[in-house]
Structure 1
């Protein structure tokens, strides 16, 4: 077995969510928003952070995952979970902030970015943590090294199966970081650790700010 194969087996035994790793960062970017749309909300780990200061609508196309999220927030008047994709949203609604975590690569890039902007209130903010296609070992090396270390810290006991929030359907990203930057020319896009990028854009005159 190759070194990468051994690392993959180790990572499967100590699973942790790369997406949840960016949850605190996303919450900081939308601080002050009162009405938030979370597209592809999964089982609701990000919503659990956002609902502390805002009303949150979560869209989740996978029925089983949406059911878990709906049960999790049952009775919370600040959270609404809808079993649908972004195309099934209320076309009349606008939000102060829209978040997507590891979701955009499931959707048509340019069209979706345009429609997301149209769903923002004036001064609203679009915040994305996304996946991109990367085939350069040198670029991936820091994440390859850090991933098992984080797995031991976050999930020290050996797992027989991934946790429920890591079982939603996935897809391999097709767009490179250059493709995403070209499509989101009015936003600031940054490469991040663990095979992710971040994108932040304000609805006000296409300006961007707060990228830390």
Structure 2
């Protein structure tokens, strides 16, 4: 336990975003689909939106946290191609359909099955859903994935944030929640709501999900 405590304090002094780690991969997945108009649910301060902006025509970011949404809006104030809306997923435009929808560490904040169904409805024909999510660890496979992540995490912290931090950066300050669903739960829900979705366990306590809506 003492080792885990030391690791925790070390990681706090050298913070880095596990979510941003997958930003380029997400942008590549979106670009490969040919998407032009993208919805980023839970956009935070806009790090992913900035990457998507260079690969697509328009990005709409939804962010419910007031301070975070304000920072994102200020960041893109001079870019008409990026729209930041201070709202959660329920506050999206219910009539609009997007070529791609992205969520990073957001899905576990929402009711899983109902949200997957709603996300499917947000996609234009042939549109792509890209998720980087968190899951509840519940088995040997999760433990085996966690061990290398625990070793790599402080190394990545030193590389990405070599100086000691007094506080986390703003883009890591949004409210968090512990995931309730296991990866098996998520696979089962996707089999029901997103048939054909491709789900992979990833390093740093994440999984990825890619789903392509049927074309007309």
Displacement, 1:146?
A: 0.4
Moved over 2 A (4+): 135-139
Query: What's the RMSD between the two structures over aligned residues?
Result: 1.0
Q: Which residue of 1 aligns with 2:132?
A: 129
Of 117, 141, 150 in structure 2, the residue corresponding to residue 144 of structure 1 is 150
The answer to whether structure 1 residue 159 and structure 2 residue 165 are counterparts is yes
- Report the Cα distance in structure 1 between the residues aligned to 2:144 and 2:205, rounded to whole angstroms: 12
- Report the Cα distance in structure 1 between the residues aligned to 2:203 and 2:91, rounded to whole angstroms: 32
Displacement, 1:204?
A: 1.2
Under a length normalisation based on structure 2, what TM-score does the superposition of the two structures give? 0.93
- Report the Cα distance in structure 2 between the residues aligned to 1:111 and 1:70, rounded to whole angstroms: 29
CA deviations 1:118-175 (Å, max 9, x no partner) are: 0100000000000000155433101000000000000000001000000000000000
The answer to whether structure 1 residue 173 and structure 2 residue 179 are counterparts is yes
- Report the Cα distance in structure 1 between the residues aligned to 2:137 and 2:164, rounded to whole angstroms: 29
> Which structure 2 residues correspond to residues 24-173 of structure 1 after superposition, within 5 A?
24-31=24-31, 32-54=34-56, 55-135=58-138, 137-173=143-179
- Report the Cα distance in structure 1 between the residues aligned to 2:26 and 2:19, rounded to whole angstroms: 10
Is the contact between residue 27 and residue 55 of structure 2 (CA under 8 Å) also seen in structure 1?
A: no
Aligned pair count reads 205
CA deviations 1:84-137 (Å, max 9, x no partner) are: 000000000000000000000000000000000001000000000000001554
Is the contact between residue 108 and residue 135 of structure 2 (CA under 8 Å) also seen in structure 1?
A: yes
Structure 2 unaligned regions, length at least 5 = none
- Report the Cα distance in structure 2 between the residues aligned to 1:33 and 1:8, rounded to whole angstroms: 39
Under a length normalisation based on structure 1, what TM-score does the superposition of the two structures give? 0.95
Q: Which residue of 2 aligns with 1:6?
A: 6
- Report the Cα distance in structure 1 between the residues aligned to 2:190 and 2:156, rounded to whole angstroms: 31
Counterpart secondary structure, 1:118? helix
If each structure's helix is expressed as a fraction of its own residues, which one has the higher value?
2
Is the contact between residue 15 and residue 168 of structure 2 (CA under 8 Å) also seen in structure 1?
A: yes
Displacement, 1:199?
A: 0.3
CA deviations 1:23-75 (Å, max 9, x no partner) are: 00000100021000000000000000001132000000101100000000002
Q: Which residue of 2 aligns with 1:189?
A: 199
